[in-house]
Amino acid sequence: MARQDLRVMLRSGGTRRDRRVRHIINHTRRSRSKHRHTPPATQAFAISSLVALCFSITALVFFLLILTSRCQEKDFAMDLPRKLLLGLTSLFASITSIVISFCDGHIFILPDNLKHVAYPLYAALCFPIAYFALAQLSLYFDLVWAIYREVPQRCNKAFLH
Q: In this predicted model, what pLDDT tens digit does every residue of 78-89 receive, in sequence order?
A: 788 888 889 999
Q: Which residues contact residue 20 at a Cβ distance below 8 angstroms, ignoring those fewer than 6 apart?
A: 108, 109, 111
Local confidence band at 151 (pLDDT 50, 70, 90 cut-offs): low
Nearest to 41 by CA among 100, 118, 116: 100
Q: In this predicted model, what pLDDT tens digit does every residue of 24-65 receive, in sequence order?
A: 455 545 545 555 667 787 888 899 999 999 999 999 999 999
Q: In this predicted model, what pLDDT tens digit does every residue of 69-118 receive, in sequence order?
A: 877 777 777 788 888 889 999 999 999 999 989 888 888 888 888 888 88
User: CB atoms < 10 A from the CB of 62, how many?
Assistant: 20
Distance CA(63)–CA(146), nearest Å, equals: 18
